[in-house]
Amino acid sequence: MYAPNQVLLDTAYISLHDSSITRVDIYEKNIKKTKTNRAISTVAVIVIPLGILVALIAIACNCPQVYAYDGTQYQFKSGVFSGAIYTPLEKTDYLPLENLIADSGKFKFRVMNNQQEEQFINQLQLIKVPHDAGTNVLLDRYGIVHTFGQPQLPLITSLTNDDTRQTLKWKDGHSYMFNEKGDPASNFGSVVLSFDKPVGAKQSKLIVNAKNSLWAGYIFEEFTSLFGDKFQKYQAKQDKVKKEKIERWQKEQALSLMVYVETEKGWELADYFPTTGNTAGRDMIMTINIPDTKQDKIRIKLESAFMFWELDYIGMDFSEDKQLKPEFISASSAIKSKTSDNDTGDIISKDSRYSKLLQDEFVSVEFSKTSSIAQQDSYFLSCTGYYHSLKQYAGQPDIAKLRNFKKKGSFTEFSENAFIEDQKLLAKGINLQTPSKE
């Protein structure tokens, strides 16, 4: 934690003015190979007891972690298919890979399981998109290629915090935490943004840089612990539930980053950005059909369960997509770390075969670099799979609390209440240290 000129007077609680904290970094055992997460940058909204802060930092993304070889060491990139916690939620994730470097004609990756879970990888594939210089490329959640130039920044937002409103214009690690209700009619953390609408525009592309928060990981852990010693039984039951039912519940809880567009009939759901995990921010893109209105502005609303997302940047592009042809590259090898099993055949295609990773196990995957005559190539790692938690909890399930989660928006209520209770705990701790007036 970086808090210049501050003195910590208590070993149990920290009380700092929000302006004094510049960032929170997380270090692994090897400091030289540190992966840094600006976990609660610009903590303008958060004052958390030290014990809770430590718990937050300890909870990383419960999903496979991707590392790419840069010629000297493996550099952390991000987690993949986060949120695919049950078999029916298996999904494909398209991870952007910046500054990818080939070593001896190979792109080398490690996909690691460093959590108490079992992970099932169905397919790993490298996607190369050749394009000209000056063109930016992203794949949406469906795997469709989109191009954009210099996105238009939001004109105004519904937020009351001027600093937060300004920080959405830059990717600088300072994020909006969805702890405000930018739309008074919304029960979720939200922000409403306006953009100039070009004459005749029918479609736009919304570009964001965002990730799930450490607080989200902490709260989801609190939720699963409510099942007590029946958690594993509950998880096995969810494996048999239809995907549509689970996804409908997740949308009702706004666990994904929900995106709405304002029409003459009110707010209409455009789509959502899927969960990314909380280990790294990510650029994401979404096409939005522009409503046929007389307004010269387009208004967008983003919603999330209370403090479940960190929104670092947002912009909108109105250019037409360039017609680019992606190249799909299959893995040339995939070797398991502990057993040296050759899992190449298991990850080539989406089928019933999986590469299974246990805790502290990884698979080393290589892709052959192909020749290109394009000015520039953008790469994405396509990862398909799901995972199961192996955690065991003690005690009986808290049935009364669990029943509340059947209601729409119950997760945001659970998160906000937990935050308020932690603030009370902090205040109580400070009061205990306050000298008596007698």
CA distance 294 to 333: 56
Nearest to 160 by CA among 185, 195, 194, 191: 191
- pLDDT tens column, 207-233: 999 999 999 999 999 999 999 999 999
Query: Would you say residue 29 has pLDDT above 50?
Result: no
The whole-chain average pLDDT of the chain stands at 85
- Whether the predicted pLDDT of 311 surpasses 50: yes
Distance (Å, whole) CA 430 – CA 432 = 5
User: What's the confidence (pLDDT) of residue 434?
Assistant: 44
Amino acid 356 reads K
Helix (H) or strand (E) holding 417: helix 410-433
How do 282-289 and 266-273 pair as beta strands?
unpaired
Which pLDDT score, from 0 to 100, does residue 160 have?
Answer: 63
Percentage of residues of the chain with pLDDT beyond 70? 82
Q: What integer is the mean pLDDT of 397-401?
A: 96
Amino acid at 164: T
Return phi, psi of residue 31, to 5°.
-60, -35
Amino acid (one-letter) located at 378: S
Token digits of residue 142: 């469906």
Q: Determine the pLDDT at residue 301.
A: 95
Q: Which residues have CB under 8 Å from 314's CB, separation 6+?
A: 154, 168, 193, 206, 207, 208, 209, 302
Closest Cα to residue 80, out of 107, 62, 103? 62
Integer Cα distance of 270 and 293 in angstroms: 16
Q: Determine how many CB atoms are found less than 10 A away from the CB of residue 64.
A: 30
What are the extents of the domains in the chain?
63-429
Cα–Cα dist 345/394, whole Å: 40
**Comparison of pLDDT for 17 and 314, the residue scoring more:** 314
Q: What is the 3-state secondary structure (H, E, C) of 296-349?
A: CEEEEEEEECCCCEEEEEEEEECCCCCCCCCEEEECCEEEECCCCCECHHHHCC
pTM, two decimal places: 0.85
More confident residue, 245 or 295: 245
Mean pLDDT for the stretch of residues 32-61 = 41
**The predicted structure's pLDDT at residue 354:** 97
Do 219 and 414 touch, CB atoms closer than 8 A?
yes
Arithmetic mean of pLDDT, 275-279 = 93
Specify the higher pLDDT residue, 41 or 363: 363
Q: Is there a contact between 137 and 380 (Cβ–Cβ < 8 Å)? A: no
